[in-house]
Amino acid sequence: MPGEERPGLIDEAGALRDLSSHVGTIDSKALRPEGLAALRALDPLSLPEVRGNPRLGPCVGNVGKLLAIGLNYSDHAAETGMALPEEPIVFSKATSCISGPNDPVQIPRGSQKADWEVELGVVIGMTAKYISPAQALAHVAGYCVVNDVSERDFQTARSGQWIKGKSHDTFGPLGPWLVTADEVSDPQDLDMWLDVNGTRMQTGSTATMHFSVAEIIAHLSQFMTLHPGDVIATGTPPGVGMGQKPPVFLREGDVMELSVEGLGVQQQTVVQA
């Protein structure tokens, strides 16, 4: 059940192991270098195996900030007809929108333009303030898949900031797992895709990011302190619903499936709130 998740890890054979005797949740304490070192020192085979097919919760617990970057893929900016920004477009998603990777996604009441966005999520593992791009990746605990679900009318036509269209409950699926930074050799060389009802809608690569992961982290650190457990969604490639001709938006019963290379697969069924 949501709120009753237990921490786990995937062993080399793909089995899920229970970490709850060693750590309460995968949050800011566990994600610091010393926390990850303690987890690496464990023998996975000594941990209880989780049987069956349990629900997976968000791969990061107690997220402090959920930040996101808009128009960060050159090919996505082209499909929207908007110019690439001179510096990262930053917005936030309410942390109450975070959900498990396979939990249902709710269409808000009154929504007509619910949309999908597969994104690379970056999980901070060290406090970052006024750092340079050259220092940035050393502050990353790991990476995960994020579906930056969006309501386009709420986002652009309801006045104020994008957060209105980005923060409905279930609009921030994280996971299925966090892959530590040492397992991702180059965050700027990861393929990504998203299907709706079995039809490929998004195909892209982090190689087409306008601002790299390192540049994004460094930029954000000039305006706010980034803390362990903060999550950054780094933008989406082309193929979102509003970019289709004509536009296509999510309806009750639709099924989204999405992945970033090496980070697992999410699947969500759309329901009405």
Domains along the sequence of the chain with CATH: 55-272 (3.90.850.10)
User: Between the CA of residue 219 and those of 86, 101, 134, 147, what are the distances in Å?
Assistant: 12, 28, 12, 22
C-alpha angle 91-120-135 in degrees, rounded to nearest 5: 80
Per the listing, tokens 């994600």 go with 31
Prediction pTM value: 0.96
Give the count of beta carbons closer than 10 Å to the beta carbon of residue 112. Answer: 13
* pLDDT, tens digit (0-9, with 9 covering 90-100), for 190-217: 999 999 999 999 999 999 999 999 999 9
Residues of the chain with pLDDT under 70: none
Alpha helices in 67-160 (DSSP H): 74-80, 133-136, 152-156
Question: Do 210 and 77 form a contact (C-beta atoms < 8 A)?
Answer: yes
